[in-house]
Chains A and B, each alone.
Chain A
Amino acid sequence: MFDLDLWREIFQSINMNRTRSVLSGFTVAFAILLFAILFGIANGLQNTFNDQFVDDANNSIFIRSGFTSKAHKGFQAGRKIQFENKDYNFVKEEYNDDIEYLTARVYKSLNASYKGEQNTYDVRAVHPDHQFLERTIVKEGRYINFNDIKNLSKVVVVGRLVEEDLYKKTTALGKYINLSGIQYKIVGVFEDEGGDYEERRIYMPITTAQNIYGNNNYIDEINLTYNPEMSSDEALAFGNKMLAKLKDRFSVANTDQRAIRIWNMAQGTKQVDIMTSSLTVIILIIGLGTLIAGIVGISNIMIFIVKERTKEIGIRKALGASPRSIVSIILIESVIITAIAGYIGLLAGVGVLELVGPSLETYFIKDPGVSTSLVFGATITLIVAGTIAGYLPAKKASQIKPIVALRND
C-alpha cells in the first residue's frame, strides 16, 4: 500500500529539518564509511597472501633425492639416491587417487643458439602435467604432449624471453633452436606470472632428454599436486606417508633427513589458512563493532528526535492522528535517512579505497576493495537494526499524551 501523502509528510519533515536529518545521517554514513574502509584493507591483505602463491600451484609437493646421512640395512652412509622412471611410475600407480597432476623433472643447463644469437638457459625435461603444476601459460603453439614423450620427439617449448633474446622481433614458433649442437623444433612459446626468471626457461620431453643427454632413466625430481579436495592436514599426512614409502623403497633410514626430501606446499597453505581465517574473524569483529556503533547511534538520535518532536506529535494527535500514523511517520523517516546516509557512506568508502588503494601496495595491501553485495548487506542490516532500535522510541512517541505535549511551557 503506497501512501503518497505519508511520503510527502515525511519528505517535508526531512527537508524542513535539515540540520537534524544531516546530523542523524552522519553517524550512519560514518559507520558505513569506516566499515567499507576496514573491510577493504582486510581484503587487500588477503589478496596479498593469495598472491604469494600465484607462481606455482599451491597444492604442490616436490620430492628430491640426495645422499644418505645414516647407515641403514647394511648400506653405508653417503650413498647416492637416484630416482629413475620406475620410481615415477611407482608413485603414479601407488597414489593415483590422491594425485591431481604428476611430472618428473630433469634439469639441464644448455647453450642455445639461433642464427648467431646465443645464450645459456635452464632446460627442464618434463611430463605434460608439468604445465599445470607450474601454471605455465602457453602463448603460442602447444605444450609438450604424450606423443612427444612416447616418440622421444626433438621438440621444445621456449619462454617468452628466450624468444625475445634469440629471435628478436620475429616469432620463434615453428623455427629450430640449437641446444648444445642438437636441433630442436619449437612447438610452443609460453608465459609465466612467476617473473622474468621463469620465462627464460626451455621445456622438452623428459624421455628425449634422458635419451640424448646420458642415455639413462634418471630423474632429478618428482613433482605432483595432491587432490585439491584434501584439507591441508590431510595433504601433510599424505606427503609424509609417501615419503616413508619412498624411504622404505630405497632402504633409507626413516630418520634420514637428507637422502630423500619433500617440500609440501600444504605446510604454507596451512599457515595461510590460519592467517586468513583469523583475519576473517578480526574483520567480522570490527564489522560487527562498527555496525553496533551505528545502531546505537541511530537509536540515540531517534530518542532525541522523538523528544524534540513531542510537541508536534501532541498537536498531530489532537488533530486526529492515530498512534499508528505517528509510529510510521517516525520510523519511515529514520529508515529513509539511514538508507540515504548509508549509501553515501558506501560511496565515500569505495571512493577512498579507489583513491589510496594503489599507494598501499607497499604495505602488503593489494587491490583493497569491498564486494558491493557485502556493503549493501551491511546497509540493509543497519536499516533493519535501525528500525528495530527506532521502534521503541517511535512507539513511545505514539503514546505521548497530547495534554502533556501541549502543556503551556
Chain B
Amino acid sequence: MLKINQLHKSYPIGDSSLHVLKGIDLSVDEGEMVAIMGSSGSGKSTLLNIIGMLDEADTGDYILDGLPIKNLTEKKAAVYRNKFLGFIFQSFNLINYKNAIENVALPLYYQGIKRKERIEKAKFHLEKVGLLDWADHLPKELSGGQKQRVAIARALAANPKLLLADEPTGALDTKTSHEIMAFIQSLNDEGKTILMVTHEEDIANMCKRIVRLRDGVIMEDKKVTQVRAEQYV
C-alpha cells in the first residue's frame, strides 16, 4: 500500500539547516492501523505531511499504491490528495461557514461530482458517523466530538485508500477520545488503512502497530495487541 525508502527532509533555519528526517524506511500494508509516536521535534508530523503530499521529501522514494510520488505539480498533488487520501486533523479544520453536510461534500466537489450525487454521498457518510440529524448545523453549533465525526465523514467521503490522522483526539476529552477511537477502529475493521500521529500511549495502543521516531530516525517498529476502545465507552 505504502512504501518509503531512505526518506530525508531538512528545513533551512537561517544559514544552517535542520535535518528533520534522517533516512526513514517504512512500509505499510493494506488494512493496517499504524500509530506514529515520538516527542515533539521527532519528525512525526513532517513524516505524516510528506505521506499526505502536503510536503515533499528532499531525497528518498515514496510509493503510494504503486504510484511513485515525486516532483508532483501542485495540480497533480491536489488530484492525488483528493483521490487517495483522507485527512483528519487535531483541530478538525471544518469550514466554518458551511454546514455539516456541505463540509462533508466538499472533497466530492473537487472531484467534479454533480451536486445531487454529492449530497447523496455526503448523507450516507454523515449517517455512518451518526450525525445525519445534524446535517444542517454549522460547525459552531456542534460539540468537539461531533465536529471530529463530521471531519471523519469528510475524510471518508471521497473513499480514499489511506486515512491520515494528525492527533485526532488531541483536542478532545477522554470519553470523547475513546468514542472517536472506537469509530476509527471500526473503520479499520472494515478494511481501511489508517495512519495516525499521536503522542498518547493509550491512543497508540488502540492501533495495531506502533512506529516510534526519535530525532528523525525510527527507533522502534512493532506490532501490538490492539486495545479495543469500545470497552471504555
A residues bordering B, Cβ < 8 Å?
4-5, 8-9, 12-13, 16-17, 311-312, 314-325, 398-399, 401-403, 406, 408-409
Q: Name the A residues within 8 Å of B95 (CB-CB).
A: 312, 315-316
A8 to chain B: closest residue by CB: B115
CB-based contact B109/A322 at 8 Å:
no
Residue of A312, A316, A403 touching B54 (CB-CB under 8 A): A403
Tell me the bound Cα distance from A324 to B158 in angstroms: 20
Q: Which 7 A-B pairs have the closest CB atoms?
A: A320-B82, A16-B97, A320-B110, A319-B107, A403-B54, A322-B78, A402-B54
Q: Looking at A4, A320, A324, A408, which has the most chain B CB atoms within 10 Å of its CB?
A: A320
A-B contact pairs, 29 of them (CB 8 A): A5-B109, A5-B115, A9-B109, A16-B97, A312-B95, A312-B96, A315-B93, A316-B95, A316-B106, A317-B81, A318-B52, A318-B87, A318-B93, A319-B107, A319-B158, A320-B78, A320-B79, A320-B82, A320-B83, A320-B111, A322-B74, A322-B75, A323-B74, A323-B78, A403-B49, A403-B55, A406-B93, A408-B170, A409-B91
Instruction: Report the minimal beta-carbon distance from B183 to chain A, rounded to whole angstroms.
Output: 20
How long is the Cα–Cα vector from A199 to B55 in the complex, in angstroms? 88
- Contact A319-B98, Cβ < 8 Å, known A324-B75, A401-B54, A406-B89: no
Given A12-B98, A401-B54, A403-B49, verify A318-B91 contact (CB < 8 Å).
no
| A311 to B, closest residue via Cβ | B93
Report yes or no: B78 in contact with A321, Cβ–Cβ below 8 A. yes
Q: Which residues of B contact A (CB under 8 A)?
A: 49, 52, 54-55, 74-75, 78-79, 81-83, 87, 89-91, 93-98, 102, 106-107, 109-111, 115, 154, 158, 170
- Provide the bound-state CA to CA distance between A5 and B158, in Å: 18
Instruction: Out of B81, B91, B97, name the residue touching A319 (CB < 8 Å).
Output: B81
Residue of chain B at shortest CB distance from A398: B74
How many A-B Cβ pairs are below 8 Å?
74
Q: Tell me which of A317, A323, A408 contacts B91 (CB under 8 A).
A: A408
* Contact indicator A13/B90 (Cβ below 8 Å): no
Contacts of A399 in B (CB 8 A): 74
A318 to B49, CA, bound (A): 10
Chain A contacts for B158, CB-based, 8 A: 319-320
Which residues from chain A contact B82 at a C-beta distance below 8 Å?
319-320
Q: A401 vs B78: C-alpha distance in the bound complex, in angstroms? A: 11
Which residues of chain B come closer than 8 Å to A402, judged between CB atoms?
54
CA distance in complex: A140, B108 (Å): 79
Cβ–Cβ contact A318 & B110, under 8 A: no
B74 touches A408 (CB 8 A): no
Cross-chain contact B110 with A13 (CB below 8 angstroms): no
Task: Give Cα distance in the complex from A402 to B89, angstroms.
Answer: 12
Q: Cβ of B110 and Cβ of A319 under 8 Å apart?
A: yes
Q: Which residues of B contact A406 (CB under 8 A)?
A: 54, 89, 93
> In the bound complex, how far is the Cα of B74 from the Cα of A324, in angstroms?
10
User: Which one of B75, B93, B97, B115 lies within 8 Å of A12 (CB-CB)?
Assistant: B97
CA distance A325 to B82 in the complex (A): 14
B55 neighbours in A (Cβ, 8 Å): 401, 403
Do B90 and A408 touch across chains, with their CB atoms under 8 A apart? Answer: yes
B163 to chain A, nearest CB (A): 13
One of B89, B94, B96, B110 near A321 (C-beta < 8 A): B110
Q: In whole Å, how far is B165's beta carbon from the nearest beta carbon of chain A?
A: 13
| Residue ID in chain A nearest B155 by CB atoms | A319
A94 CB, nearest partner CB in chain B, Å: 80
